Amino acid sequence: AQRVTQPEKLLSVFKGAPVELKCNYSYSGSPELFWYVQYSRQRLQLLLRHISRESIKGFTADLNKGETSFHLKKPFAQEEDSAMYYCALNLVRAARQLTFGSGTQLTVLP
């Protein structure tokens, strides 16, 4: 069963425009969700996690349990935001077994 769905494989926006990367999940318990990012020629790394309620590099993500969503948003996209973004759900808290979505390639155009 697909636990994490990222409906957009590719997303292009212009610099300065708002950006929203969609993530929907299916999980019967209390979810723990993350966004990971992979910049060109870099390792996959954590961007933010929902329990921290933090803003990283201008990005925020709010957990909406009613809509089972965890969309990633930024009001003004920058060219350096171009990267592959993965939404991830922790299935087994103790062992931190993450299940990942298929990813969205974000391109910010000049």
Partner 1 sequence: NAGVTQTPKFRILKIGQSMTLQCTQDMNHNYMYWYRQDPGMGLKLIYYSVGAGITDKGEVPNGYNVSRSTTEDFPLRLELAAPSQTSVYFCASSRGGAGNTGELFFGEGSRLTVL
Instruction: By CB under 8 A, name the binding residues for partner 1.
Output: 4, 6, 9, 32, 34, 36, 43-46, 49, 51, 86, 90, 94-103
Q: How far is CA 10 from CA 6, 37, 83, 97, 107, in A?
A: 10, 14, 10, 26, 8
Cβ of residue 65: shortest distance to partner 1, in angstroms? 18
- CB nearer to partner 1: give 9 or 65: 9
Cβ of residue 2: shortest distance to partner 1, in angstroms?
Answer: 9
What's the CA gap between 13 and 90, in Å, rounded?
29
As a residue count, the chain comes to 110
> Could you tell me which residues come within 8 angstroms of residue 46 by beta carbon, excluding any fewer than 6 positions away?
34, 35, 36
Q: In the complex with partner 1, which residue's Cβ is closer, 15 or 105?
A: 105
Tell me whether residue 67 or residue 94 sits nearer to partner 1 (CB atom): 94
